[in-house]
Structure 1
Amino acid sequence: MTQSQRPVQRLVVKIGSGLIRTPEGRLNEDAVRQYAKQLATLRKQGVEVILVSSGAIALGLPVLQQQRMPRTIALQQAAAAIGQSHLIRNYERLFGRFDQQVAQILLTHADLRDRGRYLNARNTLQTLIAYNVIPIINENDTVSVDEIRFGDNDSLSAMVCNLIDADTLMILTDIDGLYSADPRLDPDAVLIPVVENLDRRIEALAGRTTHATGRGGMYSKIQAAKIAGASGIHTYIANGLKPDIITQVLDGEARCTHIHPPVAGKLSSRKRWIGYALKAKGTIVVDDGAKHALTIQGKSLLPSGIIEIREDFDFGDAVYCTDASETRFAQGLVNYSSQELLAIIGQHTSRIETILGQKAYDEVIHRDNLVLLSSV
């Protein structure tokens, strides 16, 4: 058995907009038909399949006489409104040729940030899967603004993996995977077939290149693998322009990059929600002693270890924890607002009630509400 051959029960496949759109801006029907055929075949073989598809904005651009991603949200939303109906109508038609039912799911970050809506989305997807329907998920670009936007569908696909307990994420793009350098610029670049430890060196290799009609790039795919890895999920980055690429990756026959999850194991559903579904409202900078207590000893964060508070946030908000060198190493739910923390920063817990007039908690962030981020 090769590195890429693993039993797969629940698979999330993300397809980028560049793979389903021709240079002229039309739907690449041949490509979409091939994806539909492969996924429908896998579903009939017992693999539970979820498709995350970009392309709504890209397909709507020609109608608005736009060649590149519009800079304004209004134009992006208009393009998405035009392109999304075109996209799902064709997915339904092409999957239908292989007797496979599909369903459209449009999400914003707010749908996953709210715990109740998160669980409702999870239940809907679980029900569709149970009825042998392939969910086709996209960001709801017609209503998304910066506060509720995922940023790119790579991140969305990883969060979907966490949402429905997938075991495998496959991100299809226009190159074979992660290279030692950008292969379009450096002829000596070599493919990295396996990543055992997704650290900052690997992130640096990814760079931040983007596509003219998309929001992602290799860097966003590596970040998605980090999110998926927190759930013990294996990620494959592969070239979606190659025939039968999905089945070849699963059979261990494709040139691709296989990113392993951390050996530490998967987070609970609630901790995945805290660490990766929520958007941080602020930052707490801690000293080395507090970082050691949080990362090595599994302790809660106390006010005595805090050296700086950044941005405004309220009780119950998610915040980042960073060290003095600006390294983000954790995210958690705070028991005090930023204004309250400014008053008790660096103080012993015995002083909280004297300073604030009350003490609801000893901990600023309880360890049960704290998630260590990967690549610490």
Structure 2
Amino acid sequence: MISRDEGLYYRQTLFDKARRIVVKVGSAVLTNENGLDQHVIEHLAHDLSFLQDTGREVILVSSGAVAAGRRKMATESRTPVSMREKQALAAIGQSCLMQTYEEAFARHGKTIAQILLTHSDLAKRDRYLNVRNTLLTLFRWHVLPIINENDTVSVKELRFGDNDMLGAYICNLIEADMFICLTDVIGLYTGDPSRDPQARPLYTVPEVNEEIEQMVGNVTSSLGTGGMRSKIKAAKLVASGGGSSFIGPGKQNDILRRLFSGELIGTFFLPDKERIKSRKRWIASVLKPHGRLLLDDGACRALLDKGKSLLPSGIVSVEGEFGVGEAVYCTDSRGTPIAVGLINYGSIETRKIMGRHSRHIEEILGYRDSEEVMHRDNIVVLHR
């Protein structure tokens, strides 16, 4: 851990330097018993407009469509609904949500844009780059993008998981300096404040490690610990791309102005010292691996210590079914994932050439697209 004064210095330095910012606001902040909380949305529009007026590029990742749909259809918020019904409520509520934002930002002379995404929009490299180009164009036009998951068409295998992860992916997509997650919690504590009188707020986190992840249990939130774990995971992902993150209370008035003016509030996460390159961030964070390659010790050393490509001779076994160009885990002899990368051969072909020298590939398959099963430029090391 770092001292309070050190943390304050790091926080303020990074807030001052942040020029590109992603702000994520969850349903716990945006809604109340009557549906969308107009008061919160007005203050949010006020704060985000302020950030834009200071020359910063800002994206809002917003939940709230299902809650707005419930309100319009007069559906009790505690009534269980099926996935199909949630998707229908999202379709109804999304227009209400955007109309509310449109009116709130218009009072500050701001133009907004709506972008709805599914995981497949980011998993395909060409679509991933198209989303990036659209966002950069909106920045150039001084338009504020508002992004949400396309709940109406998203199914389990296409979902980001939640908007915390969506916000983290967007941060890495546009190489944002900062991810601000506004929620219904004050921040992390060293212990449970309701039970431990010595528990103190944790204002600055230099690294998301096992100790920090265990502190999630000290958070009291309507979201539960699962929701907070998602935010910690998102902060860790943003840190790997060289960005900082903030988790704190979203319903407090002028929260963003107060943060950028140096007020010590919430929990701030510092960026990693080593920044993963853009393409490798996409491989490691966005893609969902389809299989596993069990490697021998020599291949593990080649990947971890020497930064080499993966050759077929180092593969002991192949698990799962995958196609050319898909993401696949590389594991050590214990089955622990040590890397993830884009595969040059499908699972059927990989099984045929595993354990063999590269010079035998053409003899076995009848062709040779590459000497490597994975090229080093497409491999991301996960654990050393």
TM > 0.5: yes
Q: Which residue of 2 aligns with 1:79?
A: 89
Q: Secondary structure at the match of 2:280?
A: helix
2:47 to 29, 34, 38: 38
Q: Contact 1:69–1:214 (CA<8 Å) still a contact in 2?
A: no
Give the letter aligned to residue 12 of structure 1: V
Question: Aligned-pair RMSD on alpha carbons?
Answer: 2.6
Label 1:328 to 1:195 Cα distance change in 2 as closer, same or farther (>3 A): farther
Structure 1 CA distance, aligned partners of 2:246 and 2:28? 18
Structure 1 residues 354-373: aligned runs within 5 Å? 354-373=363-382
Q: Which residue of 2 aligns with 1:177?
A: 187
Q: Secondary structure at the match of 1:132?
A: coil
Confirm or deny that 1:310 pairs with 2:319: yes
Structure 1 CA distance, aligned partners of 2:61 and 2:165? 10
1:110 to 99, 103, 120: 120
Label 1:329 to 1:193 Cα distance change in 2 as closer, same or farther (>3 A): farther
2:354 to 326, 335, 345: 345
Confirm or deny that 1:229 pairs with 2:236: no
Structure 1 CA distance, aligned partners of 2:38 and 2:226? 22
Confirm or deny that 1:286 pairs with 2:295: yes
Label 1:262 to 1:287 Cα distance change in 2 as closer, same or farther (>3 A): farther
Q: Contact 1:302–1:365 (CA<8 Å) still a contact in 2?
A: yes
Q: Which residue of 2 aligns with 1:28?
A: 37
Label 1:109 to 1:262 Cα distance change in 2 as closer, same or farther (>3 A): same
Show structure 1 runs of 5+ residues with no match.
none
Label 1:68 to 1:306 Cα distance change in 2 as closer, same or farther (>3 A): farther
Confirm or deny that 1:240 pairs with 2:250: yes
Paired-residue identity, %: 47
Label 1:186 to 1:142 Cα distance change in 2 as closer, same or farther (>3 A): farther
Structure 2 CA distance, aligned partners of 1:239 and 1:32? 14
Structure 1 residues 108-257: aligned runs within 5 Å? 108-181=118-191, 189-206=199-216, 217-257=227-267
Structure 1 CA distance, aligned partners of 2:289 and 2:320? 10
TM-score (ref. length: structure 1): 0.90
Confirm or deny that 1:260 pairs with 2:270: yes
Give the letter aligned to residue 10 of structure 2: Q
The Cα of 1:243 is off from its aligned counterpart by 2.3
Query: Hey, which of these two has a bigger chunk of helix by percent?
Result: 2
Paired residues in the alignment total: 373
TM-score (ref. length: structure 2): 0.88
Structure 1 CA distance, aligned partners of 2:43 and 2:337? 41
Structure 2 CA distance, aligned partners of 1:184 and 1:356? 64
Show structure 2 runs of 5+ residues with no match.
1-7
Label 1:205 to 1:300 Cα distance change in 2 as closer, same or farther (>3 A): farther
Confirm or deny that 1:4 pairs with 2:11: yes
Structure 2 CA distance, aligned partners of 1:155 and 1:69? 26
The Cα of 1:197 is off from its aligned counterpart by 2.2
